[in-house]
Structure 1
């Protein structure tokens, strides 16, 4: 009997998986979403966060170790507060559990009472535990999540206060964060004077997400135009086509200079975040209602992500690829797996492609086996699986990525 050495055997398995994937797209499957698992995991996550995070003043305690013991926080940060408002509001939309809507509303009340800058508009970056402004500069990334939280809460709760607050925030964002090239400054002073330096696509991505959600909730034409503005900036300015020899498709690099030119090498700080490619794929698919081009680009970005960073042997995706080549970082972090699943379920539902359903089921097995901590009602904060080798932190990851995944998986198609 011929014995194949382990490295050659792994390569042979990868080749067979790749050949199988090449043949599968023509094969269509019905929806294979495991709705029961998504619902159970959503309930576990949100009931755990509801039991531990709400403070008496309506804000949220966000830092816990894996045993849900409180880790001290010197300040409360906009992004984390907003992401939990979003998570509870989205959870209520799916479950109709009134407790989640109440927590989201109280969290939004705290955010609007303590983070809003009454002089220049927008939101402070952090406040003290007592709710006083601390870091008064403005971060585009945090503003994107504040906008997303208010949009989701208005969609769920239909309180005009949240719609109006979202539209005021969008007005401040338009005035303060957009640069002359169509992108966003990462950071501004309290008066929105921009901080110069390298740029990242990350706040652009989440602002696009927030504007899609706000337009869906309100139908506002100005919001739709803003989403189109950002989407076009990404697909016509940031998107980088890849040669067929490298798997084809297209990617969106992570870091750029101040003229939005990608940082060219790993040594210079340039990389392609693989989790963000999966994230862009499902967001652009959602944005196809604004421009059909976005759906076509979503397919190219997903093709790149699968070719560059998907593990066809064990499921799941890696963390980073690099513009100048070299070995891909295949460490499997927790949020990357959530975004990988999210993109796979969106595109598999739209196309019926059997190869995508196979990868969805394979990655779901990985998540259930290695990330879900059912005993504690959470996921493990993995930077690189497996946890038994020390690749996971002793902390609770916030539920934004998982709740976003579960909401999509549990919504009727087209909702």
Structure 2
């Protein structure tokens, strides 16, 4: 994988990354081993407040369980008790969320463990695939691969639209809800397919991934700027999100299978446009949602930590970007990380606008730091 040329800022970048990674291992991960863990349910709470107290549970989502499964699977061999926690999360995914009658996995359960939102959504199933691929890579247990294969079967049988795209959401019995395809779950499905291909040869998954990316190019890429829209082209009230542009760019550019594809060429071409429109040059702040039309104010100028992390990770694959990479790692550390954890959101002026710390965010930090570690290696 080609990397940016090294410069005088390399030692500073290496030292800063070591500090940030220590914060992750020493502060953030323990939040989800201790106060963020509901031992009775064997599930992570959805969020902690600034004092590390769980917010009163309204629900538990399968997607949040799967993201935490990825987190602890990625830390096996590096963090004490990570393998035991991953095993508990894998069991809970099956015990609490699997639909024994219709197959697939429920969206959420209520605080007592009863099925709550029983719809089947692509976003959830993509993260179950992603987490199981990473977990199986570490433990190689047949049961984990069988769950992964079951999720692939559900995708092909129920979500696939036949044109390379997939329905965003279906009812519990797989009947249509008329949602059609949406960008974000499709991106995470591509991420899941890539995770599977990293751990085993799978010609069917490779074909599905290539078909998905060809369909994204056809149905979601704005032809003028090359940016990925959130809804299919021609949909009413459409927009694009810089964080997702950077996330897509990383997935495509990091993959030998996808690098050089038409979709990769579009996201590569759109990178500078996305930076110009969506990144504030003084602070490095990444805006949440943008209109495509020139001169329009951001639809949402909120600064979210996940978008900051995705921009930072994408920069590891850009040529001659080390100074920008250093600036963005400083921005993440100084504006979003703190002694007790992290700020989830800042408003347009940089003021903290959300006090809670969701259980889903460590996934973004883990993938970002993994990209940085590979860059610095």
RMSD value, Cα = 2.3
C-alpha distance after superposition, 1:102-129 (max 9, x if no partner): 1111001110122111222111111233
C-alpha distance after superposition, 1:310-341 (max 9, x if no partner): 22222232222212331235442211111111
Find the counterpart in structure 1 of residue 276 from structure 2: 307
Find the counterpart in structure 2 of residue 333 from structure 1: 304
Aligned pairs (5 A) from 1:10-409: 28-29=5-6, 32=10, 33-34=13-14, 35-43=17-25, 44-56=27-39, 57-92=41-76, 96-197=78-179, 199-242=181-224, 249-256=225-232, 261-263=233-235, 268-290=236-258, 292-293=260-261, 294-325=263-294, 326-328=296-298, 329-345=300-316, 347-348=317-318, 351=319, 353=320, 356-374=321-339, 376=340, 378-384=341-347, 389=351, 391-397=352-358, 398-409=361-372
C-alpha distance after superposition, 1:343-389 (max 9, x if no partner): 112x13xx3x1xx2222111111111111012x1x2111142655x3
For residue 392 of structure 1, give the secondary structure of its aligned residue in structure 2.
strand
For residue 241 of structure 1, give the secondary structure of its aligned residue in structure 2.
coil
TM-score (norm 1): 0.81
> Hey, what's the Cα distance between the residues in 2 that align with 1:409 and 1:157?
25
> Hey, what's the Cα distance between the residues in 2 that align with 1:381 and 1:40?
19
TM-score (norm 2): 0.88
**Superposition deviation, residue 195 in structure 1:** 0.9
CA 163–297 in structure 1, closer or farther in 2 if over 3 Å, else same:
farther
**Superposition deviation, residue 78 in structure 1:** 1.2
> Hey, what's the Cα distance between the residues in 1 that align with 2:213 and 2:106?
26
**Superposition deviation, residue 98 in structure 1:** 4.0
> Hey, what's the Cα distance between the residues in 2 that align with 1:77 and 1:409?
29
> Hey, what's the Cα distance between the residues in 2 that align with 1:89 and 1:407?
13
8 Å Cα contact 1:282-1:298 kept in structure 2: no
Unaligned runs of 5+ in 2: none
For residue 287 of structure 1, give the secondary structure of its aligned residue in structure 2.
coil
Higher Rg of the two aligned structures: 1
- Give runs of ≥4 in structure 1 deviating > 6 Å: none
8 Å Cα contact 1:281-1:301 kept in structure 2: no
> Hey, what's the Cα distance between the residues in 2 that align with 1:37 and 1:373?
12
